[in-house]
Amino acid sequence: MDLGISGKRALVCASSKGLGRGCAEALAAAGVDLVMNARGAAALEQAATEIRDAHGVKVSVVAADITDAGGRAEVLAVAGDVDILVTNAGGPPPGMWSDWERDDFIKALDANMLTPIALMTALLPGMMARGWGRVVNITSQSVKAPIAVLGLSNSARAGLTGYVAGTSRQVAPHGVTINNLLPGIHATDRADALDRGVAEAEGIGLDEARARRAATIPARRYGSPEEFGKACAFLCSQHAGFIVGQNILLDGGAVNATL
């Protein structure tokens, strides 16, 4: 399917690896020029080179922490008037509700709620003025079904979800859509880190921890960054202009709910 977005420009945050990389790759495959971001310069440069070589699109990189105001300003300066924004950043650490202090919440809110909101605040006016734009926020299945040890994430992402619910209706008249993609478990470094934690806590090997988790998913496997990226690219396509303010689970059926 031709996504109809060849020649457009996208900012894909936190995209040297994992789900962000999957989104960058799929947008590049649709002919979209990219601004890619991550903190580590080496992996970012390598990802950009691979994407340029594979898809022949223009790729700029900004090595910066997207959750930091200074880093964000650097990224936005290079991004300029992008047509597409994919927000993403690392997730908060797991823990126990009784251990979290105000500072832990502030950090999580900054990274996973206020950072995507700041990016939208900066880029939505240009999209609205041009009459076309797409925003996809990478959130989590924990928005629909809480993961108790990820309470910091549950809280921050719920706040972003509420913001998007209202704001998406305000920008839709201008040809701009905002939607959230909710990943269940996907095979990335983040999933490895979570599985290593389980393996250590339960005294089992990493493969066993993965197998046990996969067995709880109706699809009986982890998602891949490639399929996640393709769903993102569709939401950014010309065909998705009537999808507004939605929270789309990509979880292999893990969340057991009718709606």
Residues that bind ligand NAP (CB under 6 A): 14-20, 37-40, 43, 65-67, 88-91, 138, 140, 183, 185-186, 188-191
Shortest distance, CB of residue 172 to ligand NAP, whole angstroms? 25
Smallest distance, Å, CB 50 to ligand NAP?
13
Q: Which is nearer to ligand NAP, 185 or 236 (CB)?
A: 185
Strands in 14-144 per DSSP E: 33-38, 59-63, 84-87, 133-138
- d(CA 55, CA 214) in angstroms, rounded, equals 32
In angstroms, rounded to a whole number, what is the distance separating the alpha carbons of residues 153 and 157? 6
Shorter beta-carbon distance to ligand NAP: residue 67 or 177 = 67
Tokens of 11: 């900012």
Q: How far is the CB of 200 from ligand NAP (least distance, A)?
A: 18
Q: Which long-range contacts (CB under 8 A, 24 or more apart) does 50-53 make?
A: 51/24, 51/25
User: Which CB, 7 or 40, lies closer to ligand NAP?
Assistant: 40
By the 10 Å C-beta count (0-12 exposed, 13-18 middle, 19+ buried), 101 is classed as exposed
CB of 186 to ligand NAP, least distance (A): 4
Q: Between 116 and 245, whose beta carbon lies closer to ligand NAP?
A: 116
Residue with smaller CB distance to ligand NAP, 72 or 171: 72
Pairing mode of beta strands 176-183, 133-138: parallel
Task: For the CB of residue 33, give the shortest distance to ligand NAP in the complex, in Å.
Answer: 19
